[in-house]
Structure 1
């Protein structure tokens, strides 16, 4: 009997190992203690990060050295929840806060100097996310509901200047509905003229709103019917905090190019609650299905790793990955050479970079997925 039990325990251990993956994180020196929530990997070794106390960081060598940027004028106490960059010299940072504490600044000289582009004109407003489209040419700015509608701006860049246009017709909000500014990813923009998705939460439940038609004359914003998404618990602190879509290279129709998507969230006041955390869609966001195996706690950011062909999501209590487009998640644990908490205390992703509180910045190496045959002891 002892030999049988031993064999069974070994088999169970081997089976369990197939569900484990090991995170390979390089923790980088940021030279700041600010809480970081904005991160944008431009490519070619260039990335920008942002956070509290007007903090903006920049790297040109893949994170080996992070430069501390000058603080934009009057921004010493602002919380820069989002940053989107065009190259090593040009970037826009967005602060989140009530009324005029929500602002946009831009730099064109590698963050030596900054210019205030826009201050929130809504005294009851609060900006949540600013995202560039997949080409990196233009962006959309999203705020919490004002007068029962989500305010939106379109920001275009041409060769010489930036143009800012406010949408006249925007999605109507439900009672108690809002977006979250936790990781600058409550918004996904494929193309500012066509595909834009907005993630929400709150006491009315969570939903994803998608733009399906663009009125070039009035900057209209029409949506297909948005059903509730099974994330969160109908409370002010819960809902969808991040969503992302994976490009389908075999699709040639513009409206189906980004059909596979993942949304994550939960309740940020209950970070260890592992219920109603993630959902996925296979039809561009028209319908959403709860993940069968959920991430193991509240998650504030999600992204698709094209090279490794997997989804990764992060939060205060850990990191999870999915290799089946969000249907099932499994924990990512530190390798033996990484700090014991390398998987924890993260806010936002722009792969391969991840940022968190107290100036935490990490760079993801190749994930080692332990593979053990289930029929071998």
Structure 2
């Protein structure tokens, strides 16, 4: 069973036996198994259903889907969208998915499919030029949110209650004011995340403080808190990963390769009211993160310079791969995948 392999890996790592990157294929620890996609797109959107079915999206209007565990990938993106960047995708099964492109004005769009990408329906096209949609997340198959960078000084939230068939802008009266240069990073499709039936979090940066916003009512009202993660024009919180509605981590850093990353991780045990710096963090900026199902203390983090794993709830991290990935996600059965530049998609293995 999958959890037996996980326990074996935990024992190995906690004993200090993490292998060097070049030794991964000898079975000495966690690693990524690449599944060639035939695509050259940068894949920043990823939604894993299970070990057999996953969707990925990215530049050049690309949407990819596998239903055989990555042995083959089909290009199933909406037609006439080669100029769009699909930075986020949310899939419910092998047939039903919602894809979002980013950009100012009409470049921000949302499409849905119910037949595995054979046909798509455009259900939202941003009519407001100052708005720039970054990412989205669903509470269940019907209810979800999409996030735009601040408009008139506040982050903007779209809401759907019919699985993405229709969207409405929520009132901004319950949204705290943004910092003058604050925004969300459309780097991994994870700047907006959800947990449970009503809780959502926004990851932000770009200004003096790297912050996390939290809503307990599906985006109607929000609170905001500072994190110890570094912030600046190219730095901040890139993603929040939540084990449940109270326990989670915020991960980020500075994506500018000429600037060192420090304080890349923060932890919360109260749903995001407060954040603390753990004893140790990945050495570089990380854009995506996820908890490992059935392993409550296990977290994966990925970025352009490598992948890290924590097996103690985010207190300590070990890099186990040096390849470039932008986003990571796990399915209900515990299968975890990562995606990134030049069409790279891989499955996690112990």
Query: Which bracket does the TM-score occupy, shorter chain normalised?
Result: 0.7 to 0.9
What residue is the counterpart of 1:254 in the other structure?
Answer: none
User: Secondary structure at 1:294's aligned position in 2?
Assistant: coil
1:280-332 alpha-carbon deviations (Å, 9 max, x no partner): 11111110011211101000001000234410101111111112211221222
Please report how far the alpha carbon of residue 74 of structure 1 lies from its aligned counterpart in structure 2 after TM superposition: 3.4
Structure 2 unaligned spans of 5+: 1-11, 20-28, 331-335
Q: Distance in 2 between matches of 1:286 and 1:175?
A: 22
What residue is the counterpart of 1:270 in the other structure?
Answer: 257
The yes-or-no answer on 1:291 pairing with 2:278 is yes
Runs of 4+ aligned structure 1 residues displaced above 4 Å come to 14-17
Please report how far the alpha carbon of residue 43 of structure 1 lies from its aligned counterpart in structure 2 after TM superposition: 2.5
Single out whichever of 37-46 and 121-130 deviates more from structure 2.
37-46
What residue is the counterpart of 1:32 in the other structure?
Answer: 39
Structure 2 contact 204–211 (Cα < 8 Å) conserved: yes
User: Secondary structure at 2:216's aligned position in 1?
Assistant: strand
Q: TM-score, normalised by structure 1?
A: 0.80
Identify the match of residue 125 of structure 1 among 112, 115, 131. 131
Please report how far the alpha carbon of residue 356 of structure 1 lies from its aligned counterpart in structure 2 after TM superposition: 0.7
Q: TM-score, normalised by structure 2?
A: 0.86
User: Secondary structure at 2:155's aligned position in 1?
Assistant: coil
The yes-or-no answer on 1:222 pairing with 2:229 is no
What residue is the counterpart of 2:180 in the other structure?
Answer: 175
1:1-29 alpha-carbon deviations (Å, 9 max, x no partner): xxxxxxxxxxxxx9997173633221011
Q: Distance in 2 between matches of 1:122 and 1:229?
A: 31
Q: Distance in 1 between matches of 2:203 and 2:159?
A: 17
Identify the match of residue 342 of structure 2 among 355, 358, 362. 358
Please report how far the alpha carbon of residue 44 of structure 1 lies from its aligned counterpart in structure 2 after TM superposition: 6.0
User: Secondary structure at 2:289's aligned position in 1?
Assistant: strand
Distance 1:213 1:112, change over 3 A: closer
Aligned residues: 322
User: Secondary structure at 1:118's aligned position in 2?
Assistant: strand
Q: Distance in 1 between matches of 2:291 and 2:217?
A: 26
Please report how far the alpha carbon of residue 231 of structure 1 lies from its aligned counterpart in structure 2 after TM superposition: 1.1
Structure 1 contact 86–137 (Cα < 8 Å) conserved: no
Structure 1 contact 122–146 (Cα < 8 Å) conserved: no
Structure 1 unaligned spans of 5+: 1-13, 215-219, 248-257, 334-342, 367-377
User: Secondary structure at 1:162's aligned position in 2?
Assistant: coil
Distance 1:307 1:15, change over 3 A: closer
Q: Distance in 1 between matches of 2:188 and 2:35?
A: 19
User: Secondary structure at 1:143's aligned position in 2?
Assistant: strand
Structure 1 contact 130–141 (Cα < 8 Å) conserved: yes
